[in-house]
């Protein structure tokens, strides 16, 4: 009776499963050696993945990097610039600074790098979008990705020479961002700190602010737009984050409001982006 070989299909499969289970729970610092082989595999699989993604984008009507309606795109960009100026003016008033800061903000050059979304990846860091632009194209760590011209998508969290990974603002690991509401006349409203909820929306409390001689609390309503006002994203202030879909009083402080915001774009349908790289690197 012949003996079976030591290396069998079942043993290889079992060893593979055990290896995957062990590496899943290892700290990331012990898996640093896998980064370069992983990037080689990414480069080899990118062409077929790119083709499949392109077909899927056509079938699902993917979000464009720029707004196809030039007039609306121009209005969105002018609105963003106007809001950025108002935010800078407010900051300068609070700090009693010189008005030359406004001039610096307006004149900050912004490199816009178009890129296509190749695929999605999942890792302990969260759900990332992989784009076909990298260091060789001018992308820098911390650069911001937008779609439809002035709609915020997320931030670059990893990159190499040819590709980069974008973490959408709705990802569970994206962290909290500061936004501000605007009125129909594009006047500044109330600031909120929004955190991803895990279902594609963001939620968070607002600041308690009053107006008028009677110190009436400032309120927001469903349907209002919110825009980026976070100082850590200062070069990108004014980018549209989304629309308020729910408003409720805070549990511990009923005079403060808590809002839920639905982003203007569906991150599952993004086909291309514009990566915004400030000239001063901020």
Q: What is the mean pLDDT of each run of 10 residues along the chain (282 residues)?
A: 60 75 65 64 61 60 65 77 76 50 52 89 73 92 87 92 92 91 79 92 84 71 90 85 92 86 85 86 57
pLDDT of residue 258: 93
Q: Please give the DSSP secondary-structure letter assigned to residue 62.
A: P
Q: Please give the DSSP secondary-structure letter assigned to residue 68.
A: S
* CATH class (in words) of the domain with range 177-263: mainly beta
Q: Phi/psi at 127 (nearest 5 deg)?
A: -90, 120
- Using the structure block, give the residue that is written with the tokens 């178009």: 114
**Of residues 280, 42, 270, the one with CA closest to residue 145:** 270
Q: Phi/psi at 29 (nearest 5 deg)?
A: -65, -25
Give burial (CB, 10 Å; 0-12/13-18/19+) of 191: middle
> Is the torsion defined by CA of 262, 267, 273, 279 positive or negative?
positive
pLDDT of residue 155: 93
């Amino acid at each position: 009776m012949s003996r079976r070989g030591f290396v069998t299909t079942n043993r290889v499969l079992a060893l593979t499963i055990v290896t995957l289970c062990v590496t899943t729970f290892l700290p990331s610092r012990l898996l640093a050696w896998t980064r370069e082989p992983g990037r080689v595999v990414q480069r080899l699989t990118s062409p077929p993945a790119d083709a499949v993604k392109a077909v899927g984008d056509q079938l699902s009507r993917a979000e464009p990097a720029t707004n196809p309606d030039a007039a609306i795109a121009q209005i969105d960009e002018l609105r963003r610039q106007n809001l950025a100026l108002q935010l800078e003016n407010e900051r300068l008033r609070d700090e009693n600074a010189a008005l030359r800061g406004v001039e610096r903000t307006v004149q900050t050059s912004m490199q816009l790098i178009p890129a296509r979304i190749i695929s999605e990846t999942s890792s302990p860091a969260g759900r990332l979008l992989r784009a076909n632009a990298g260091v060789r194209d001018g992308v820098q760590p911390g650069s911001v990705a937008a779609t439809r011209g002035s709609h915020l998508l997320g931030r670059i969290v990893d990159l190499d020479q040819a590709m980069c990974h974008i973490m959408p603002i709705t990802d569970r690991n994206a962290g909290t961002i500061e936004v501000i509401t605007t009125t129909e006349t594009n006047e500044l409203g109330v600031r909120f700190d929004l955190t991803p909820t895990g279902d594609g929306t963001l939620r968070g409390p607002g600041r308690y602010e009053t107006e008028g001689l009677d110190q009436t609390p400032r309120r927001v309503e469903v349907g209002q737009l919110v825009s980026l006002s976070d100082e850590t994203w200062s070069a990108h202030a004014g980018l549209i984050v989304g629309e308020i879909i729910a408003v409720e009083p805070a549990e511990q402080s009923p005079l403060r409001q808590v809002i839920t915001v639905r982003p203007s774009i569906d991150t599952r349908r993004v086909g291309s982006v514009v990566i915004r790289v400030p000239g001063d690197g901020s």
